[in-house]
Amino acid sequence: MTARPQLPERTPRAKGEPTALDGLLVVDFTRVVAGPACTQTLADFGAEVIKIENPEGGDDTRAYEHAEIGGESAAYLSLNRNKRGIALDFTNPAALEVARELIAKADVVVENFSGGVMKKFGLDYASVAPTNPRLVYCSISAYGRKGAYALRPGFDPVTQAESGFMSLNGFPDGEPVRTGPPIVDMATGMSACNAILLALLARDRLGRGQHVEVALIDIAVAMTGFYGMAYLISGANPGRFGNSPNGSPTVGVYQASDGPLYMACANDRLYRRLVTEVLERPDLVTDPEFAHRKNRTANREKLRAIIAGVFAGDKLENWMSKMKKANIPVGYLRTVEEGFNAPEVRDRHRLSQIPHPTAGAVPNIETPLNMSLTPTIDPIAAPLLGEHTKDVLRKTLGYDDRRIAALAEAGAFGKSRNTG
């Protein structure tokens, strides 16, 4: 059985430090990946994020099977830090009234339901904006909220496939490959967060909120980047190139005698330094077959075989030392375990453990964003299903115990649940 890695306790933030989003109230109707990734960033920097879940099972990621601890999945824990969780049954009119009251007080609403769901419950932007004109309302979807495909559900790997993004990944002689992590979902969450922050800045100037929208298919198309732009300019369909873009013989994975490395030697200056100072093969500069970039590209298989043969003749650490001394871009090809335990990661203090009500402690991967004046809040683990229902209703909406008990009796928090 694999042992869990040992993680340090997290160092608390300094007392009295401000947060970037203090006082911002976010009502979070999202689930799975893109939406929760967006709202987690807002929560990390001080927004009060109230995550509303279906009492019958909650967020879909709670049931994901990568790994679990304390009854919670790795996926759910990784995307819902620093949120307050409540459970509401939207088929119950009393629960919908609670949701409307929360939206009326909110600065931001984020939702990623399938098209028409929020409108069905009277919680769409057109329905709620008149009572809260300063509201920033963010909709995240697969294909947008308008047009012929607005009602079509979609998922990260499907949009990777349909946008052309997936066609760029993999090796030329193999089939297209999706990314391992859901990169389109994660990029959509980041973009949605950017859109919300832009709308909040605009609200300060214009005095009103707005509806902002981010779609997975749009993000996937944008992420084709300069390969997509090159197609629009040339009309040539770009293909897959594995680990060596444009077939470059000096970019990609090579095997030392005892392990792999990844080299990114992408220009003439670096190439000359590589073959003379590291590989000690000055003939690879003078030989007409390899003297210039076009020649090297034309003879890339021959050159790659020569370079591979040289690398295979010595140990990984010797090559790494020589390449770093010559300032050649190179890195170890690591597993997740190796990467998470590497000094480059550990020195950044990105990994820790934080308290959890059922697991005792759970791992934590810090946000990659760093701010000197307004750092992240001290992280709190993702909430249990409905964990903060009573607390939110009391503190945010001012409900007393009698009203909370009446809502529970009416089934607003689910048929088989009381409240957290």
> Which residues are catalytically annotated?
185
Bridge partners for 27 per DSSP: 50, 109
Q: What backbone phi and psi angles, to 5 degrees, belong to 341?
A: -100, 5
Angle 292-297-301 from CA coordinates, rounded to 5°: 125
User: Strand order of the sheet with strand 251-256?
Assistant: 251-256, 259-264, 330-332
Distance CA 88, CA 362 (A): 26
Number of H helices, E strands in the chain: 18, 13
For the chain, how big is the Rg over CA atoms in Å? Answer: 26
Distance CA 344, CA 404 (A): 50
Question: For 304, which DSSP code?
Answer: H
Tokens for 412, please give them. Answer: 């607003």
Extract the runs of DSSP E, i.e. beta strands, from 257-300. 259-264
- Orientation of helix 183-206 relative to helix 34-44, angle to 10°: 50
| DSSP letter for each residue of 308-360 | HHHHTTS-HHHHHHHHHHTT--EEE---HHHHHTSHHHHTTT-EEEEEETTTE
Closest-CA residue to 66 (of 74, 77, 55):
74
Closest-CA residue to 419 (of 410, 289, 24):
410
Distance CA 175, CA 80 (A): 34
Within the chain, what is the greatest distance between any pair of CA atoms? 87
Bridge partners for 68 per DSSP: 73
Distance CA 27, CA 36 (A): 11
Tokens for 176, please give them. Answer: 């297209």
Distance CA 12, CA 6 (A): 19
Distance CA 244, CA 171 (A): 9
Distance CA 14, CA 81 (A): 20
